[in-house]
Amino acid sequence: MDPLTPKQQALVEYLAEAIDGAGRAPSLRQTAAAIGVSHGAVAQMLRVLEEKGIVKRPGRYSRTLHLVRTPGDSGAPGRSRSVPIIGRIAAGLPLYAQQEWDGSLVVDGGLFTGTSLFALRVNGDSMRDAAILDGDLVICEPRQYAENGEIVVALIEQEEATVKRFFRRDDHVELRPENPDFSVMRYPFGAVLVQGRVVGVVRGPEGIPDAPGRRPS
């Protein structure tokens, strides 16, 4: 990667600090004021950083910004990393699986070491007894298969996404809630596509991540 200019480096350092503190990227106006450049200069530098693979935005004019990495970031323990938040999923009644960026989440790079991790916000309390609550963010690793008993993000009928505990039976798939108020969901094999395995949970927008080895992750 080409070295950054001093202004580009200052922008990256400011973004990393701001995201680490607030859990989301600042606005262009806030960024321009903080590093002492114009709004247009920030926009131009962001385009360059996108080309260098340091930041990512879902669209050219999107206000959502994902800090992919900082120069020299190796993901070593104790270093923060940014995980994209993709739409919302349901722990209860499934919601439409929105394939769009919804900000980013800063997590411990030593605790969450997988590649291409993503986060999804939970709506509902069907996974309450697995300590996944309404408003939580589940951190997931992409995967298209699951072992019995794993908590997964599953896409139902190619349009509805939900987080449940997965079980494969002889002639169907079971998606089990962790709340006795909700019923087990049963589907034919072709109706359920596993999208990822839940490896951690962040309590609300500014909570503390649970370790991957702890249930329900």
Q: Tell me if residue 27 falls in helix, strand or coil.
A: coil
Q: Indicate which residue of 56, 82, 104, 126 is catalytic.
A: 126
Cβ–Cβ under 8 Å, residues 10 and 16: no
- Strand ranges inside 11-92, DSSP E: 55-56, 66-67, 80-90
Q: Indicate which residue of 56, 104, 164, 217 is catalytic.
A: 164
Between CA 100 and CA 83 the distance in angstroms is 13
Answer yes or no: 126 catalytic: yes
Which helix H or strand E contains 13, and what residues bound it?
Answer: helix 6-22
Within a 10 A sphere around the Cβ of 72, how many other Cβ atoms? 6
- Report residue 147: phi and psi, to 5°: -90, 150
Active site residues: 126, 164
